Amino acid sequence: MAGQESFDYVIVGAGSAGCVLAARLSEDPSAQVLLLEAGGEDTADEIHIPAAFASLFKTRWDWNYETVEQKHTGKPAYWPRGKMLGGSSSINAMIYIRGNRADYDGWRDAHGATGWGWDDVLPYFKRAEGNQRFDGPLHGTDGPLHVEDRRFTHELSSAWVDSAVDWGLKRTEDFNGETQEGAGVYQVTCKRGRRWSTADAYLRPALSRPNLTVRTHAQATRVVFEGTRAVGVSYMDKGVEVTARASAEVLLSGGAVNSPQLLMLSGVGPAEHLRELGIDVVTGLSGVGDNLHDHPAAGIIWSTKGTTDLVDAATPAGLVRYQLTRRGPLVSNIGEAGAFFSTRDGLPGPDMQVHVAPTLFYDNGMREPTMPGFTSAATLVEVASRGRLRLKSANPMWKPEIDPAYYAEPIDLDIMKSALRSLIEIGRSGPLARFLDKPFLPSTHELSDDALTDHVRENTQTLYHPVGTCAIGSVVDPDLRVRGVDGLRVVDASVMPVVPRGNTNAPTIMIAEKAADLIRSV
């Protein structure tokens, strides 16, 4: 590779983790950093308007993945993933949740993730966080990731919280406080009513540094090895494959789909599977692509009366209001409020998260609302089922085979059904009830167990939180170095051995903050 470009670090993926790494590593002016992003710049207006995130699905801003047909639902699931600067932090619902103390202590105690317990990771959450309301021992106030109270909350969301409290949940002002359980409104990663992705928070302030190079529309095709040492990355540049050399390390931050895919394309993964596709094996690492899991979600939806719907603001006048004031319904992140609670006794943390929306939101928001509505969705956050990811081809342009194995473990389905019955009960009482007209999905709430099972199977969708395919313990060590090779780390949600209880964007950013310290300590 003589005469080819050389950097100290080559980072693959400018998403929630990659932007953090690029910013932190380039703080050292002597370190030359290259950041590769398969998508383009985050220029679309819809990226920055919080309520517009679902309009980005199945566009050029989306990897547009689909799982295999799920054995226990009878259909595939669509998986949106951000394909632009900021990655999925530019396409997500912006909810700021860290997870539960038990999650990280569990990583440490059950999966050998030394240094990843709650007390270890809290400083990195705080380093990242710029919270506009909370401070003290659990929150950061001057970090790059702006976290604020949403500038608009619909009356339906507030009424749901009141009804959930009447039903028996405690009210909480802070899901990232001393305890996670309770009902309340979510804080969001926005800045004065505008989405605040990792591209905004981390990458843009670093772009003026002469030691940071960012290349968009540059899809990585393989990690280049000399023996078992990673020495560079090949990527597509205007239809031509070129290689960038990394004198220090190659860092994969493509997420739970793209990182294991690139490892396998590069000869790191289940040896028999790679040989079947004609890929030379650099090191056999059976855990690559295994342990895939996600938070499945399914909703209960009502038509509403005596109130408004978020879609009422999707007008030229609503857009002008947003552009001039950064206020009003377009500031909504759709999933405005929710809760954490346990459906069973004796758990170390909640097994259920709720997301509520003052509109009809189902099928990933891809269906046009036909009437004013309200959605209350159960999200399983203690997931027993495990699937896997495998290559379909040695061609890096082919999408991989994705199987999260939703409900492979029956307990997952049982928890979902229990939670949905609780959501029906919450909707029948308290301040929310006066706004709810009649059931929309399902069309009746007088459901037998079999009917509720059918409803869950028919209406399950991803909550956009795939993890685990390059897990600490099986694929990477606690320093996130890929086992069996040198000069290569994975830094993204794929290293999570178990998905945290809650939305995964903040934990992914935390992982990258901690990884930057691990890398710089070498």
Tell me what pLDDT residue 364 has: 86
Beta bridge partners of residue 213, listed in sequence order: 34
CA distance 492 to 508: 6
| Domain ranges, ordered by start, for the chain | 1-148+195-292+389-401+466-522, 151-185+296-382+407-459
DSSP per-residue codes, 416-439? HHHHHHHHHHHHTSSGGGGGEEEE
Query: How is the beta sheet containing 401-403 ordered, strand by strand?
Result: 290-292, 387-390, 401-403
DSSP type of residue 170: P
Q: CATH class for domain 151-185+296-382+407-459?
A: alpha beta
Q: What is the pLDDT along the chain (522 residues), one digit of tens a residue?
A: 444 799 999 999 999 999 999 999 999 999 999 999 999 999 999 999 999 999 999 999 999 999 999 999 999 999 999 999 999 999 999 999 999 999 999 999 999 999 999 999 999 999 999 999 999 999 999 999 999 999 999 999 999 999 999 999 999 999 999 999 999 999 999 999 999 999 999 999 999 999 999 999 999 999 999 999 999 999 999 999 999 999 999 999 999 999 999 999 999 999 999 999 999 999 999 999 999 999 999 999 999 999 999 999 989 999 999 999 999 999 999 999 999 999 999 999 999 999 999 999 988 888 877 899 999 999 999 999 999 999 999 999 999 999 999 999 999 999 999 999 999 999 998 999 999 999 999 999 999 999 999 999 999 999 999 999 999 999 999 999 999 999 999 999 999 999 999 999 999 999 999 999 999 998
Question: Angle, nearest 10°, between helix axes 18-25 and 505-520?
Answer: 30
Tokens encoding 370: 């036909």
CA distance 335 to 361: 9
**Active-site annotation, residues:** 465
User: How much is the pTM?
Assistant: 0.98
Strands 296-304 and 436-441, bridge-based pairing: antiparallel
- Second CATH level (architecture) for the domain 1-148+195-292+389-401+466-522: 3-Layer(bba) Sandwich (3.50)
